[in-house]
Amino acid sequence: MSETKRLTPDLLVIGAGSGGLVMASGAVQMGASVVLLEGHEMGGDCLNFGCVPSKALIASAKAAYQQAHSEPFGVASVTPKVDYAAAMEHVAHAIATIEPHDSQERFEKLGVTVIRDYGTFISDREVKAGDTIIKPRRIVIATGSSPLVPPIPGLDTVPYDTNETLFDRREKPEHLLIIGGGPIGMEMAQAHVRLGCKVTVIEGAKAMGQDDPELAAIVLDQLRDEGVEIAEDAQASEIGGKAGAIEVKTEDGRSFKGSHLLLAVGRKPNIDRLALDTAGIETTKRGIKTDSALRTTNRRVYAIGDVAGGLQFTHVASYHANVVIRSILFGIPSKARTTHIPHATYTDPELAQVGLSEAEARKAHGGNLEVFRVDYAGNDRAIAERKTTGFLKVMVVRGRPVGASIVGAQAGEQIGLWALAIANKLKMSQIAGMVAPYPTLGEINKAGAGAYFSPRLFDNPLVKKIVGLVQRWLP
């Protein structure tokens, strides 16, 4: 029997995904001793089964779509010859290229002790991983989430994919049924229809139901135009058939048939292996219970990222890590906020949001709210590139943006400016004062700020009077 090892670092990080890696590398480089546990793949969901593979597949799909739609640019369109397996090899290549950055070797070089095993609490301040017992000063749980597999009758009788298996597939699905019309469902629906699959999305409520319906409608119209069948108010309640011929029945009696099935119905927190009870760590339905500083009900332990049950994005996990680093390493009280956190769904057109949506802003600010809107159709670069679908909406209260919503080309890139503005409580005048290079889609943001000032400047009798007076006095 192997002997039990004992470690007493400053910090134990459980989970080497988006949150855990930022936490471990930040802490070790600032002088803390750090042990990092990873039971599965270094890099977690984002690198191996989430953001990176999904965005790589979307890039293959975009290449196919452009071949089929180049005619308006004076270049003959061709029917793309898609090699699904090769597209998945492109996905694997993207993962492999990023992998070294998240690797055990890199973290060991930084000075982190990496243990490739699952961690389990054995007391309120000790965690066991394999044959090692770690008793650190502080613990950060960053164990992420897994695909939710709901108990739909018959699901266990047919083969199905989740985000954990989809990117290992090499055989192209002839007709992909996707249960769930959230970001995973919609991104993968468009990617697959562009790669030549038939696609049906079966959504129990509204597709892209978390987003402003006005923006979501533009994305959904585009997906439908491209051939994705989107069934809404269609709660999957029974599954039958066999490999290659799967049937999904919904509560209202509809039936959908396809060759393959992808489940994208949300996430569940990875807490099963942790024995949280042993450490007095309470949970909610969504994940580990934390206060606004991300501290759990055990004062030595913090929870960050997906497992903390709030917004589930890579940039949130790393933001959480930075908040906790301040608290643990420097003793600076730090709180995690959500108002300045953007998110984007990488369909084409993309949809991005930061701060309050229009509906949320109306509720919060009533008559003080002003909403400004700029269409992509008026942007010169969008016209040159035939990307005129979409718009920006800015929600403004007393001269400062409280939310921005963008649907259109590169919305995910464009939202960064508003994330900066909201995080730093910038004024619309500061955004209007920015000089954006011409011709860029980014000018849409400046135009959004311009829309705020135009009526104030151009339809203002006082301004006209002042200008008149000044002109009379000027030599």
DSSP readout, 277-332? GGGT--B-SSSB---TT-B-SSTTEEE-GGGGTS---HHHHHHHHHHHHHHHHH--
Options 111, 130, 150, 280; binder of ligand NAD; rule CB under 6 A: 150
Closest CA to 148 of 267, 22, 7: 267
Q: Which is nearer to ligand NAD, 182 or 448 (CB)?
A: 182
182-221 footprint of ligand NAD as x/- string (CB under 6 A): xxxx-x--------------xxxx---xx-----------
CA distance linking residue 263 with residue 177, whole number of Å? 9
| The one-letter amino acid at 213 | P
Q: Total residues contacting ligand FAD (rule CB under 6 A)?
A: 38
Options 9, 26, 39, 80; binder of ligand FAD; rule CB under 6 A: 39
CA distance linking residue 84 with residue 88, whole number of Å? 6
Tell whether residue 280 is among the known ligand binding residues. Answer: no
Q: Which is nearer to ligand FAD, 345 or 379 (CB)?
A: 345
Closest approach of Cβ 379 to ligand FAD, in Å?
Answer: 25
Tell whether residue 403 is among the known ligand binding residues. Answer: no
List C-alpha distances in Å: 219 to 349, 374, 389, 420, 441. Answer: 6, 17, 10, 25, 18
Q: Which of the listed partners (ligand NAD, ligand FAD, none) does 113 bind, with a CB threshold of 5 to 8 Å by partner kind? A: none
Tell whether residue 187 is among the known ligand binding residues. Answer: yes
Q: With DSSP H G I counted as helix, E B as strand and the rest as coil, what are the percentages for the chain, rounded to 5?
A: 40, 20, 40
Closest approach of Cβ 346 to ligand FAD, in Å?
Answer: 6
Residues 99-118 that bind ligand FAD (CB under 6 A): 118
344 binds ligand NAD (CB under 6 A): yes
At 207, is the secondary structure helix, strand, or coil? coil
Closest approach of Cβ 234 to ligand NAD, in Å?
Answer: 6
Tell whether residue 144 is among the known ligand binding residues. Answer: yes
343 binds ligand NAD (CB under 6 A): yes
Closest CA to 264 of 191, 367, 350: 191
CA distance linking residue 460 with residue 441, whole number of Å? 29
Tell whether residue 1 is among the known ligand binding residues. Answer: no
Closest approach of Cβ 243 to ligand NAD, in Å?
Answer: 21
CA distance linking residue 208 with residue 181, whole number of Å? 6
DSSP readout, 159-186? --B-TTTGGG--SPPSEEEEE--SHHHH
Tell whether residue 266 is among the known ligand binding residues. Answer: yes
C-alpha Rg value of the chain to the nearest Å: 25
Closest approach of Cβ 191 to ligand NAD, in Å?
Answer: 11
Q: Binding site: what residues are annotated? A: 55, 119, 143-145, 180-187, 203, 266, 306
- Which residues contribute to the annotated binding site for FAD? 55, 119, 143-145, 306
The site for ligand FAD (CB under 6 A) is made up of 14-20, 37-41, 44-46, 50-51, 54-55, 118-119, 142-144, 163, 184, 270, 273-274, 305-307, 312-315, 317, 346
